[in-house]
Amino acid sequence: EIETMQSAHPFETALPLSALATVVERFYEGDSDAEIAHELSGQGETIDPSTVGTARLDLHLVRESDRPDSDAGPLLEAISEGTKSVDTAAKTLDVSASTVEYWLRVRETQIERRQVADRYRQAFETILQDRDIGERLTASLEETGLGEAVADQEVDVDM
pTM for the full predicted model: 0.73
Quote the pLDDT of residue 9.
Answer: 84
What are the structural domain ranges in the chain?
A: 2-130
Q: What are phi and psi of 43, to 5 degrees?
A: -95, 0
Q: How far apart are CA 105 and CA 101, in angstroms?
A: 6
Top-confidence residue, 77 or 143:
77
Q: What are phi and psi of 112, to 5 degrees?
A: -60, -40
- The pLDDT mean for the chain works out to 84
pLDDT higher than threshold 70 for residue 147: no
Q: How far apart are CA 99 and CA 83, in angstroms?
A: 19
Return all residues near 113 (Cβ < 8 A) that are at least 6 apart: 60, 62, 120, 121
Hey, which of 1-10, 38-47, 88-97, 136-145 has the most confident mean pLDDT?
Answer: 88-97
The mean per-residue pLDDT over the stretch 30-45 comes to: 90
28-39 core/surface letters (b: 16 or more CB in 10 A; e: else): beebebeebbbb
Q: How far apart are CA 120 and CA 127, in angstroms?
A: 11
pLDDT higher than threshold 70 for residue 112: yes
Q: What pLDDT, in 10s, does the model give residues 61-110?
A: 999 999 998 889 999 999 999 999 999 999 999 999 999 999 999 999 99
**Above pLDDT 90, what percent of the chain?**
56
Q: How far apart are CA 152 and CA 143, in angstroms?
A: 16
